[in-house]
Amino acid sequence: MTRWIMLAVGVVCAVIGAVWILQGVGVITGSFMTGQKLWFLIGLGAFLVGVVLLAATIRKPRRRVE
């Protein structure tokens, strides 16, 4: 159960981080975050946290219940 939660949190962090990165560099417009370096950096951090969570979840061997 915890594995699915970590996987979901990792996906959400990676997607939100990617959107914030794109807004920070000005690719996605129409927001107060557009073109702001701060949101690029926050997005980069969120994206990296998501990738680390995904990598840790995927690489973690499944425990067998006997």
pTM of the model: 0.83
Sorting pLDDT into bands at 50, 70 and 90, what band is 2? confident
Whole-number Å distance between alpha carbons of 44 and 32: 17
Q: Which two tokens stand for residue 58?
A: 């995927």
**pLDDT at res. 1:** 62
Q: Which of 53, 41, 56 is nearest to 13 (CA)?
A: 53
Q: What is the mean pLDDT of the chain?
A: 90
CA–CA–CA angle 60, 63, 66 (5° rounding) = 175
